[in-house]
Amino acid sequence: MAKFNYTAKDEEARLLTGVFEARDTVSVARELKRRNLTIISIIEERGKKSVNLTIAGGRKKVKSIDLVVFSRQLATLIDAGVSLVVGLNILYEQVEDKYLKQVIWSLKSDIEAGNSLSDSFARYPLAFPPIFANMVKAGESSGSLSEVLERIADYMERTENLKRKIKSAMTYPIIVISMSIIIITFLILKVVPAFKGIFATLGGSLPIPTKILIMVSDSGVRFFPIIIGGLIFSYIVFIRYIHTDKGRMQFDQFKLKLPVFGPLMNKVAISRFTSTFAILVKSGVDILEIFDIIGRVSGNMVIEQAAQQIKINLQAGESISTPMEETGRFPPFVSKMIAVGEQTGELEKMLTKISDYYEAQINESLAGLTAMIEPLIISFLGVTVGFIVVAMFLPIFKVTQMMGR
């Protein structure tokens, strides 16, 4: 028998702590559930050390690459005939991420307590995306759990590769823009004030470009703390606003209307929508549940709202393609390809083709965007820095000309 420290909440949300002597965490969990307590954590005492085995969801997310490895390894173990409990125990010993390690232990305890794997996944929404629980549930029903786990890994790898491409394409422009802002700020706040003192000793009237530059520099130095404070305050207000339903909807609508970037974001959202749709259809997930999931994974609330509208029409007995076209959020190409898939019974195949098409479009758009942004940034930086340099040296040129006369 071992000692276990537990933390739980009662029906009135009061925090309770205590100690149990039991064989394992499963026994403690069963006893706490019998008492109608919501389990937060169970800590097994081992001499002077304790191992925190978090039962409730957790506060951090698991890296996509760790989930891919976890899915593939669990699929391999199940395919080899290893039971879920033994398989999870093996993975528990191999996983390095401490949080995922805790979650795997809790999954093992849940399954030992009689819960299904899909229900156990659903208890950890921060660790496992919704697609995990729904696809695993379908895999459990069809008896193809290992195959479904492999599909999840393939899907997550593809999604992660798309994110990586977007980040890679945007990293260089962001670095260049950041460096440009730092250089221009340094020139205006430090270099120009130094030249201002030199200009004062020269006497005479300054050229108009120099006057403008000094005025901008004086305003920047004088109001710099206010500007920084205002930017920080505005950022905090903005972040809080876009975390509301109304704010997120307006921001997502604004993103889709942006020149150049808007069409790219729309392609990314549609690619995620159709690729997730395809993998869920292939795995046998219920069509209504599919539209609950694919809207969220699209990454855009406008598309999410359109998915919910399509779901309502499906409940009324309509097809997928007609209400999809009526939302006005999907290009005709998408709705027509889906209509063909519905008529021929090859919806999953058509969705995969749509996803592949838009992924290719995204790659082309990213390449073009990078090629276009680079000269624009360099031109802007050249013009701005050039203006500052010319404005600073014009008075010196003027004095040199006067001395030559």
Same domain, 34 and 76: no
CA–CA distance, 27 with 277 (Å, rounded to integer): 40
Residue 27 located in a structural domain: yes
Residue 14 located in a structural domain: yes
Other C-beta atoms closer than 10 Å to the C-beta of 2 total: 14
Residue 294 located in a structural domain: yes
Q: Where are the alpha helices (DSSP H) in 284-300?
A: 287-297
Residue 89 located in a structural domain: yes
Chain-wide mean pLDDT for the chain?
81
The residues facing 41 across adjacent strands are 7, 54
Environment class of residue 73 by beta-carbon count within 10 Å: exposed (0-12), middle (13-18) or buried (19+)? middle
Same domain, 237 and 221: yes
Confidence of residue 396 (pLDDT cuts 50, 70, 90): confident
Q: Residue 405 above 70 pLDDT?
A: no
**Token code pair at residue 195:** 């030249």
Q: pTM for the whole thing?
A: 0.67
Residue 96 located in a structural domain: yes
Q: Residue 38 above 80 pLDDT?
A: no
Q: How far is CA 192 from CA 15, 159, 204, 383, 392, in A?
A: 61, 48, 18, 17, 7
* 92-96, 133-137, 141-145, 229-233: range with highest mean pLDDT: 229-233
- Which of 183, 218, 222 is CA-nearest to residue 197? 218
Q: Residue 131 above 60 pLDDT?
A: yes
**Token code pair at residue 388:** 């500052």
Same domain, 141 and 267: no
The percentage of the chain sitting over the pLDDT mark of 70, rounded to a whole number, equals 88
Q: Quick one: average pLDDT of 120-129?
A: 81
Q: Which amino acid is at 189?
A: L
CA–CA distance, 107 with 89 (Å, rounded to integer): 10
The percentage of the chain sitting over the pLDDT mark of 90, rounded to a whole number, equals 5
Residue 59 located in a structural domain: no
Same domain, 169 and 254: yes
- Which of 189, 200, 195 is CA-nearest to residue 390? 195
Q: Residue 236 above 90 pLDDT?
A: yes
Q: Final residue of a domain: which of 157, 183, 218?
A: 157
Confidence of residue 237 (pLDDT cuts 50, 70, 90): very high
Q: Quick one: average pLDDT of 176-192?
A: 85
Q: How far is CA 157 from CA 135, 153, 275, in A?
A: 16, 6, 12
Same domain, 194 and 243: yes
Q: Which amino acid is at 329?
A: R
Same domain, 100 and 231: no
Give yes or no for a contact between 327 and 310, defined as CB atoms under 8 angstroms apart: yes
- Sign of the Cα torsion 313, 314, 316, 321 reads positive
CA–CA distance, 267 with 276 (Å, rounded to integer): 14
Same domain, 195 and 318: yes
> What is the CATH classification number for the domain harbouring 118?
1.20.81.30
Same domain, 252 and 105: no
CA–CA distance, 388 with 71 (Å, rounded to integer): 57
Instruction: Tell me which of 30-44, 235-249, 349-363 is least confident.
Output: 30-44
Q: Quote the number of domains for the chain.
A: 3
CA–CA distance, 330 with 310 (Å, rounded to integer): 12
Q: Residue 336 above 50 pLDDT?
A: yes
Same domain, 284 and 309: yes
Q: Final residue of a domain: which of 157, 175, 201?
A: 157
Q: Residue 397 above 80 pLDDT?
A: no
- Which of 319, 323, 317 is CA-nearest to residue 340? 319
Same domain, 382 and 276: yes
Same domain, 131 and 188: no
Domain hosting residue 364, numbered range: 160-405
Same domain, 333 and 219: yes
Residue 266 located in a structural domain: yes
- Which of 90, 9, 91 is CA-nearest to residue 55? 9
CA–CA distance, 141 with 169 (Å, rounded to integer): 41
Residue 102 located in a structural domain: yes
Q: Final residue of a domain: which of 157, 179, 197?
A: 157
